[in-house]
Structure 1
């Protein structure tokens, strides 16, 4: 497995969990302390910490410590590889859908008149 593939796995794995996606959404408004970020979630501090570790390992957040405050900041560049992967594959998917649409139109035009009248 190459480095890019490993980063993609980490990002998509992190994004697979709805709690982590919500945490990232909340961080789009700016940095938050761990306590502020954890506030709406009904789970233990260790569970919150585990979610934050996954996000940090994926390169999606940065955690800093200043005195007793632990702050989380969104690292949007962590999504760059995932966004590039999706864009790269979207072209192929769109081409396949276009070919499918074309084929379905051809098949519909070839159907006998009796079948068309029953629709």
Structure 2
């Protein structure tokens, strides 16, 4: 089972699963079995990574929902991967996606310049 399948399996069985840093929080505790603990331990890094990806996606979608005039939302996360910055991008009414940019090549000001250029190009059409 992959991380997404494990998370879906748990949610289908009315578990709540969250991540707090490098820890998993699972409830209700009375439903947790030894087999489940073993499976979670085996896949813990991937499960945490997937839950954090879900959190980033939820953040960019919340930005769009809270700001109806905004067409794009982007967040940068440099804390997850030691060598990359993860950009999570949402484009209203279209899609969300993530990009990994090597930290040594990431420049937030360049990113802002590109976004500004996209906004100008969209207003000219």
TM over 0.5: no
Higher Cα Rg, which structure? 1
Higher strand share: 2
The answer to which structure, 1 or 2, has the higher relative contact order (CA under 8 A, 6+ apart) is 1
Higher helix share: 1
